[in-house]
Amino acid sequence: MKKKSFFERLTGKMDEDEEILEEEEETSTKKIPGLEKDLPVNQRNTNWEEELEAELTVDLYQTPSDVIVKTMVAGVHPDNLSISITRDMITIKGKREEGNTVDKDNYFIQELYWGSFSRTISLPEEVDPEEAEAIEKHGLLIIKLPKLDKNRETKLKIKSI
């Protein structure tokens, strides 16, 4: 239930704009059985063969020489992870599979996410994809992306034929 505005408490009436907003909120969400949350329209499963993907949470920061991406991938087998890197973008995809199946009626709380996830991030600086490193330790995935040195010079030798 939404908290009443000062105007509503004063007059007992609701603004027309607020009524319209409430109607839009009601029509823009759909309750999906088995989930505790309502999903926005753009995340609804419309019975296509595609499966909904969760968005992976990340930390992204830089050091003087590298761009670092950190994310939690606990419970994900390395074979179920895919990392694609270009000079200005990184995509991390994976799937967390639940080993045992428990009847939904036997759960008291079910908050862990099982299924496909992905995240595509535009990088703040150009990186060298060939020199990138990925390390997983105790469920924490650390991806080290060396920045391109734009001031580096190379002397080109001329061959005569």
The per-residue pLDDT for range 38-66, each reduced to its tens digit, is 555 445 554 444 557 888 899 999 999 99
> What integer pLDDT is reported at residue 30 of this predicted model?
47
CA distances from 136 to 9, 133, 140, 149 (A): 54, 10, 5, 27
- Does domain 54-146 correspond to CATH entry 2.60.40.790? yes
- The domains of the chain are located at 6-43, 54-146
pLDDT at 32 over 60: no
- Give the DSSP H or E segment for 120: strand 115-122
Q: What is the mean pLDDT of residues 62-72?
A: 95
Contacts of residue 119, defined as CB under 8 A and 6 or more positions apart, other chains included, come to 55, 56, 57, 58, 71, 91, 92
What confidence score (pLDDT) does residue 100 get?
A: 74
Please report the sign of the dihedral spanned by the C-alpha atoms of residue 103, residue 78, residue 54, residue 108.
positive
d(CA 109, CA 16): 39
- Give tens-digit pLDDT for 76-121: 888 899 999 999 999 999 998 877 778 888 889 888 888 899 999 9
pLDDT confidence bin for 28, thresholds 50/70/90: very low
Query: Which long-range contacts (C-beta less than 8 Å, at least 24 apart) are formed by 146-149?
Result: 146/65, 146/66, 147/62, 147/65, 147/66, 147/67, 148/87
pLDDT of residue 8: 66
Inter-residue contact 136 to 114 (CB < 8 Å): no
Q: Indicate the SS3 state at residue 89.
A: strand
Q: Which of 14-18, 40-44, 80-84, 152-156 shows the lowest per-residue confidence on average (mean pLDDT)? A: 40-44
Q: Please, are residues 59 and 142 in contact by the beta-carbon 8 Å criterion? A: no
